[in-house]
Amino acid sequence: MKDLLRRRTPSENSGGVRRNSLGTFIVRRVAIGILLMLGITFISFSVTQLVPGDPAALNLGQSAMSDPTIVKAWRVKYGLDKPVPEQYIIYINHLIHGDLGLSQQSRRPVSSDLKEYFPATFELASVAIFFSLIFGLLFGIIAAITRNRWPDQIIRFVTLTGVSVPTFWLSLVFFYLFYFKLSWFPSNGRLDPGTDAPSTITGMYTVDALLHGQFSLFWQAFRHLMLPAIVLAIYTIAVLTRFTRASILEILHNDYVRAARAKGLPESLVIRRHVLRPALLSIVTVAGVAFGNLLAGSVLVENVFSWPGIGQYAYRSSIGLDLPGIMGVSIVVAGIFIIMNLLVDIAYRFIDPSLRHG
């Protein structure tokens, strides 16, 4: 029976581990991840060099650009006076020592920028994926077990709408409706105007406020978090719903499910033990990738809601040709996907014991 349920994990598909211990597996994946990151730095660096335009032209004003000493001083400051291969070697050398360079936009170390912006995105994406998992699984299961009946039809309509509507437009509509018209949610930003953020522990305001016992501040931060998180979650809810439905329907047609029903097992037990559990293998993969996407792809929502996350930082870096900023974001995004894949593979081992014991 297990063989029927058995799915190939991403690592197996790529010829990865099969019967290793968890420790060895993680060590190997981390080593591969480091090599991948190195490759990504090379690709990112090369691509940013190919982008037309002079970063100095974007960062210096009209008069300053006409003064060769100012332009030279600027290039020296950011290491752009050296040949490109040398710039890359210097960058990697600094990267190994934990130095991501100096942002031309913020004029601060990129690592400091990322330390400030990433927790905001992580907080937003975490709430969004939480909503997505709850509603995506719930709607997916309901749709599957009520296949082609009215609940399924309604969910299909809603989820197709969720997948089709552009997030940017949805952000504006939700903001207009729920903030401006109905006053259900506060305006944009992470806190009300003029409110001091809690002292940084994690950088996530809700968590930090709780850790400091500032419950009113927690509530304020939480209210600000809700609307962008809901907007961000809608697409993922729709995807997870469709995927959960499809996975469950596929499994419902298997002989072993029919056999379980024929044995007279309660339907809830059949769904929970024989359908949901194997379906989770695929759903976890999608959820992992979706979380990575939420972390890396919230640019539009962050812009509309003035959410100071890495999406906004990436946008500012891109339009300002801030090469260290772009590189820093690329490394973070690559790291997110590598880590998410690793976590998904580890989760597989817990969901499907056959992967642990062969």
Partner 1 sequence: MGTLKLGRNRFAAIAGAVALVSSSLILQTTSSNAASERVLVIDSEFNHKTLDPQREFEDGGNMMDRAIYDTLLTFKGSDASKPVPSIALSYTANADSTVYTFKLRKAARFSDGTPLTSADVVYSFDRLKNIKGNPSSLMDGLTATAPDKYTVIITADQPDTAVPVKVAGPEFGIVNSKLVTAHGGYALVGADTKDKAENFLNTTSAGSGPYMLSKFSLTTEVDLVANPKYWGKQPAYSKIVIRNTTQAVQALDVQKGVANIALDLSPKQTDSLSGVNVTAGVSTTVWFLYSNANPAISSITSDPNFQNAVRYALNYSDLTAFAGKGSIQAAGIIPSAFQGALKPADATKQNIALAKADLAKTAYKGEPIGLRYWGGGAWEGISFDDFATVISSQLSAVGINLKLEPTPVGDALTTYRNGTDTMGLWFWGPDWPDSSNYSTNFGPGEKVGLRAGWAANAAPEVTKLINAVAIESDAKKRAAQYRQFQLDLNANSPFIPLIQSPAILVSTKNVIGIATNPIWKVNLTELK
When asked if residue 54 is in the footprint of partner 1 (CB under 8 A), the reply is yes
Comparing CB distances to partner 1, the nearer of 3 and 196 is: 196
At closest approach, how far in Å is the CB of 73 from partner 1?
A: 4
Q: Pattern 313-332, binding to partner 1, x per CB under 8 A? A: x--x--x-x-----------
Pick the binder of partner 1 from 25, 45, 74, 118 (CB under 8 A).
74
Return the residues of window 90-109 that contact partner 1 according to CB under 8 A: 105-108
Distance in angstroms (rounded) separating the CA atoms of residues 259 and 264: 9
> Which range in 133-141, 254-262, 285-293, 344-352 contacts partner 1 by CB under 8 A?
133-141
When asked if residue 235 is in the footprint of partner 1 (CB under 8 A), the reply is no
Asked whether 246 and 282 are in contact (CB, 8 A), the reply is no
Burial of 229-268, coded b for 16+ CB within 10 Å and e otherwise, reads bbbbbbbbbbbbbbbbbebbbebbebebbeebeeeeeeee
When asked if residue 340 is in the footprint of partner 1 (CB under 8 A), the reply is no
Return the residues of window 253-272 that contact partner 1 according to CB under 8 A: 266-269, 271
Helical ranges in 15-149 per DSSP H = 22-50, 55-59, 62-65, 68-77, 84-96, 110-145
Comparing CB distances to partner 1, the nearer of 40 and 283 is: 283
Measured at the CA of 135, the angle between CA 129 and CA 136, to 5 degrees, comes to 75
Residues 6+ apart with CB under 8 A from 205: 123, 190, 191, 197, 198, 217, 218, 221, 225
Catalog residues that contact partner 1 under the rule CB under 8 A: 51-55, 57-67, 69-70, 73-74, 77, 105-108, 117, 134-135, 138, 141-142, 145, 172, 175-176, 178-180, 183-190, 192-196, 220, 222-223, 226, 266-269, 271, 303-304, 306, 308, 312-313, 316, 319, 321
